[in-house]
Structure 1
Amino acid sequence: MKLINFVLNVIWLLFAGLVMALGYAVAGLICMILIITIPWGIAAFRIAFYVLWPFGRTTRVRDDAGAASCAGNVVWLVVAGWWLALGHIVTSIALAITIIGIPFAWANLKMIPVSLMPLGREIVSTDDRFAGW
């Protein structure tokens, strides 16, 4: 299974991961420059690393996420989230044109929720016992 994830991640990196991770990195740098938005910058960098190498990992909602995460996600959605989600949609359409790219397009679409609402989520390995819960 690890070999399959490695091969999928390498293909993903070449065709979609690098471009999408660059988008998250730019959003993170802008958030770091505007001192007050550092928490969003940290989340953007965390997601950028996830987008670079997604196969074998997933996201889940943190149990301790509260109202602050919800309010922060609203701000993120307005400022950067919808741009990044749009990037995922465009990239997935381009990948879905070929038969080989369809699984990667589907993986790209599954990243839209975390691109829209990154706060209050954590990235876990799919090997973890209750990773999908």
Structure 2
Amino acid sequence: MSCLGNIIWFVFGGLTGAIGWFIVGLFWCLTIIGIPVGLQCFKIANLCLWPFGKRVIHEGNGFSLLVNLIWLLVSGLPLAIGHLLNGLILYLTIIGIPFGNQCFKLARLALMPFGTRVVSSRGNDFEID
């Protein structure tokens, strides 16, 4: 089921969300200090392409809170609002509810992306520091 959901998601919204994260990552990579943040944006862009079968676990610490606050002020709020609006539009139909849930998952991740871990249902996981 997650494979079919990912294919439908990719066509009807995942690609545009990933492009948004990729563009934000490119802007962060323009400065030397922002390169680690930009690299994390590229990882989240990959998650935007294929979100089904994965869940996000928030395990923040003091340093990640500081980075998340800077992120929120600079880039996080517009990305979160975009995912939130997309999720609300998808919730208008019964068929779109699972896709809206993915948008809300990505909106929460857009607010606090650092100090989280993405866990695959197949047992593979990767960290977004």
TM-score normalised over the length of structure 1: 0.86
If asked which structure has higher relative contact order (CA below 8 Å, sep 6+), I would say 1
Instruction: Please state how far the C-alpha of 1:104 moved relative to its aligned partner.
Output: 0.6
TM-score normalised over the length of structure 2: 0.88
Letter of the 1:18 counterpart: L
Within 5 Å, give how 1:88-107 maps onto structure 2.
Answer: 88-107=83-102
Instruction: Please state how far the C-alpha of 1:98 moved relative to its aligned partner.
Output: 2.4
- Residue of structure 1 in register with 2:32 after alignment: 35
Residue 111 of structure 1 aligns to a residue in which SS?
helix
Percent identity of paired positions between Structure 1 and Structure 2? 39
What is the number of residues matched between the two proteins? 124
- Residue of structure 2 in register with 1:76 after alignment: 71
Show structure 1 runs of 4+ deviating over 6 A.
Answer: none
1:45 to 14, 20, 42: 42
- More helix by percentage: 1
Q: Which runs of 5+ in 1 are unaligned?
A: none
RMSD between aligned residues? 1.6
Q: Which runs of 5+ in 2 are unaligned?
A: 125-129
